[in-house]
Amino acid sequence: MIRDGFRLLLPVLLLLSACRNNMQEIEALSDKGFGREERAKDVTIIYSSGGRVEAQLHAAEFVRMEKARPPYTDAQGGVRILIYDSAGAPKTTVDARYARWYETKGNVLLRDSVRVKNEKGEELQTEELIWSQAEKKFFTEKPVQINTRTQTLSGKGLEADQSFSNYRIVELRGAVRVNKEQVPE
């Protein structure tokens, strides 16, 4: 009977001794940012410089990863960015389903159904776009489509100012309408 009790007790003791956590391993994981996130819903961030509003970013949910290297904030569930001109009027609207903001670098990575509209009614559509706040420009290497009042432009890659009034498609594809006066002789 003692022998049977010992047979039952031995596996329990082995199981309990195997369940110890090494505190150094736990601290190392927490230092890498695992499990360190802050969440907020229905958030609006206003960017300003010298007392002038330059942009406004709104998202359904923000998830901030402070301990990540570099730190970032994910905007999920849809994001809208309004970029203002020097007079404080909205100049550009950017919509996407997802964004990742690297605040130390001043870059926003936008993904999934990205649309940029300017005050002329022109609209850019792409699946990925980088907005450099420092350079005040948009960039992508992905396929793009720009719809204007008179035509649709397609290609791969884009560089544009953040007002989306001046843009260049890197690899333009398809037909492009040009005024006769603009064609060099």
Of 147, 84, 77, residue with least CA distance to 117? 147
**Torsion, Cα of 50, 41, 79, 62 (10° steps):** 70
Topology (CATH) of 27-174? lipopolysaccharide transport protein A fold (2.60.450)
pLDDT confidence tier of residue 165, bands split at 50, 70 and 90: very high
Identify the pLDDT of residue 48: 86
What is the per-residue pLDDT for 9?
Answer: 57
So what's the pLDDT on residue 119? Answer: 92
Using the Cα atoms of residue 72, residue 73, residue 76 and residue 82 in order, give the sign of their dihedral: negative
Q: How many CA atoms lie within 13 A of 78 on its CB side?
A: 2
The tens digit of pLDDT for each residue in 69-117 reads 888 889 988 999 999 988 888 999 999 999 998 988 889 999 999 999 9
Name residues whose C-beta falls within 8 Å of residue 68's C-beta, 6 or more positions apart in sequence. 33
Q: pTM of the prediction?
A: 0.73
> Is 21 a residue whose pLDDT tops 80?
no
Average pLDDT, the chain: 83
> Which pLDDT belongs to residue 181?
77
Distance CA 61, CA 27 (A): 28
Residue among 66, 54, 124, 60 nearest 90 (CA): 54
Q: Has residue 11 got a pLDDT over 60?
A: no
Q: How is the chain split into domains, by residue range? A: 27-174
Between residues 41 and 1, the one the model is more confident about: 41
